Structure 1
Amino acid sequence: MTVAAATAAAWAIAVSPASAITAEYDVTDSDSGGYAHQFDACRVTSYGQGCFAEYGEWFSIEDTDADGKSPVIVWYLYQKDNAGDYTDLTRFGYIWHTDGNNTEGWQNKSFTDGLRLEFKLCLGEHTTRTIPSSTCTSLVATKA
C-alpha cells in the first residue's frame, strides 16, 4: 500500500467523508495539566492510557510502551438533533502525545456544556499523522 493510501485509510477512522468539519490537532504539554482531576472516562491499553475529566475539560494521555510510536486520542463532540439524540457532530480532533515512554501529557479543551463527548485511544505515527484503525480501542462516551 502506498503511503498516501495508507494515510487515507488511517484517517477514515476519524470522520465520514461527507463531513465539512475541520479536524483539530493538538500535541500534549507534559508541563501543565489538571493533575488533581477525577477522570470521568478512560481507555487503557498495553501502549498507553487516555482519559477525560469533565470538570475543567482536561484530557490526559500517557505513553506506557517504548515502541517509538505515539498514543493519540481521537475525539468527537456531538449535539442533540431534532429528535433529541446526540447524532450531530459539531467538532472532532486528535490529541497526540509525543514525549516518549513513561511520560504523561495534558490537553485542555473548551467544550459547550451538555454535549456528548466520545473518544478512543489509538497508536500512531505523529510525523506522518498516520493512525492504523487496528490500534484503536472502542469508543467511550461521557458528557463534555
Structure 2
Amino acid sequence: MRIARIATVLGGMAAATMLTIGNASAVIFSVEEADDAPWSTSPTSLSCVNNSVGKACFRKDGDWFEIVDEKKDGHATLVAWRSIYPESQATIRQGTIWNTAGYQKYRYKNKDFKAGWILEFRVCAGEWGNKHVIDSTCSRWKTTKS
C-alpha cells in the first residue's frame, strides 16, 4: 500500500515536470543569416526601427525583413523578432536574423508569419561567431501586425 502511494506521488511529480518542460519549450527560436537577395517588387509599406548601429524594416507583404549595418564597429547587425498570438499575448516564435556583410550592406530574409498576429522587432549589434547579442546596443521594440 505504501509503495503504491509513493509510486502515485512520483508519477504525479513526473507528469507535472513534463507539463512544465512542455510549456517552457513551446516557443520556437531560430537564428538565421540574412542574404543579399532582395524582395522583387518595391514595397508599398514598411515598418522600420533604427538606432546608431543599424536599421531593420519589416515588409508585411511577403513577410520580409531588411537589415542594414550603419556603424563601422566590427560588429554584425541583427534584427531580433518575436511573433505573438494576439488572444493570449503569448510569444509563439522568436529569433534573430543576422547581417554579417558589413557596413552599409543591405541584407534580406523572408519569413512566414501567421496573418494578423502581433510582430515585434528591434535592431541590435552582435557577434555572429558566438551569436551574442549586445543588449546595450538594441533599439526599442517596434510593434506591427504580420
The separation in 1 between residues aligned to 2:45 and 2:79, in whole angstroms, is: 15
The separation in 2 between residues aligned to 1:134 and 1:124, in whole angstroms, is: 10
**Which structure is larger by alpha-carbon Rg, 1 or 2?**
2
Aligned to 2:124: 122
SS of equivalent residue, structure 2 residue 71: coil
The separation in 2 between residues aligned to 1:93 and 1:117, in whole angstroms, is: 12
- Flag the structure with more relative contact order, 1 or 2, with Cα contacts below 8 A and sequence separation at least 6: 1
When residues 135 and 35 of structure 1 are mapped into structure 2, their CA distance, relative to the original with a 3 A threshold, is: farther
Which structure 2 segments of 5+ residues have no match? 1-22
Q: 1:138 and 2:140 equivalent? A: yes
Match of 1:38 among 32, 44, 66: 44
When residues 97 and 34 of structure 1 are mapped into structure 2, their CA distance, relative to the original with a 3 A threshold, is: farther
Question: 1:39 Cα shift?
Answer: 3.9
When residues 44 and 34 of structure 1 are mapped into structure 2, their CA distance, relative to the original with a 3 A threshold, is: farther
Which structure: greater helix fraction? 2
1:69-93 CA distances to partner (integer Å, 9 max, x unpaired)?
Answer: 0111000001123xxxx51111001
Aligned residue runs from structure 1 range 8-87, under 5 A: 19-20=24-25, 21-34=27-40, 36-81=42-87, 87=89
TM-score, scaled relative to structure 2: 0.78
SS of equivalent residue, structure 2 residue 125: strand
The separation in 2 between residues aligned to 1:35 and 1:96, in whole angstroms, is: 22
RMSD over aligned CA atoms reads 1.6
Identical aligned pairs, as a percentage? Answer: 28
TM-score, scaled relative to structure 1: 0.79
Question: 1:45 Cα shift?
Answer: 1.5
